[in-house]
Amino acid sequence: MLRSCSRRFGVLALTISGLVAACSPAGVGTSPAGSAAPPSATSTPAGPRQITSGNLPPGTYATTLFQPPLTFTLADGWFSLFPDDPDEVAFERNGYTEGFYIGRVGQVVDPVTNPVVSAPTDLVAWLSKHPAFRPVGAPTNVTVAGIAGRAVELDVIGAPETEVFAYPTGNTRVHPGSRFRYIVLPIAGPALVLTCFGTSRNAFDEASPLVDASLASLAIRG
């Protein structure tokens, strides 16, 4: 999903490309001739790397602004769309065709009337019934970072750039033909939503094991 301001997952990749593109122009992650390369993650000898915009080397990362604080590992090839902010971190790869997003979802866009409203108590059920999605099987019970939650896999079938989640910095959008897996973990405050994204079934299948490995390493600090 991508943010409408072109900072949100899948939406960001598609909107840029054309998930941007709201997740994906050709050559994303590269620099034009004569320009500086995108900044890469920095690290300190004593701890995990911080998340910065640009290409991220493989390793362990820790959020700085996102709450609750998280640590997790990333494989090679991920590109950070922006430094982590209080409600989202977003990574994509392979020309923005694959995504891994972590967000606090406190508001959603009503699919019928379109205004921003408070997120429903059962976000998985809401997503499963959303007209932009077609469920791929039934929701399942999962445990991530020691927290029991629910997961649902969905194909996007709605009109282009359907807005789904609402954030102060822009709403996320989804595009037809893409596939998402949402994992919703109930924690204090807005739900913690972990998302795996692909602009196609093949892209999703490539991203899924990498995202699963990162989720297996996920620790929620504090």
Secondary structure of residue 139 in the 3-state scheme? coil
Which segments of the chain does DSSP mark as H helices, in order?
11-17, 123-129, 201-217
pLDDT values of the chain reduced to their tens digit, one per residue, 222 residues:
454 333 444 443 333 333 333 333 333 333 334 444 444 455 444 689 999 999 999 999 999 999 999 999 999 999 999 999 999 999 999 999 999 999 999 999 999 888 999 999 999 999 999 999 999 999 999 999 999 999 999 999 977 889 999 998 888 999 999 999 999 999 999 999 999 999 999 999 999 999 999 999 999 987
3-state secondary structure of 191: strand
- For residue 46, what pLDDT is reported? 63
- The whole-number pLDDT of residue 41 equals 52
Query: Cα(95)–Cα(218) distance, rounded to whole angstroms?
Result: 25
Q: How far is CA 10 from CA 49, 64, 127, in A?
A: 24, 23, 15
What local confidence, expressed as pLDDT, does residue 16 receive? 31
All domains of the chain, ordered by start, with CATH? 2-24+48-189+197-220 (3.40.1000)
Can you give the pLDDT at residue 161? Answer: 83
Q: Say what the pTM is.
A: 0.81
3-state secondary structure of 215: helix
pLDDT confidence of residue 204: 98
CA atoms within 13 A on the CB side of 176: 5
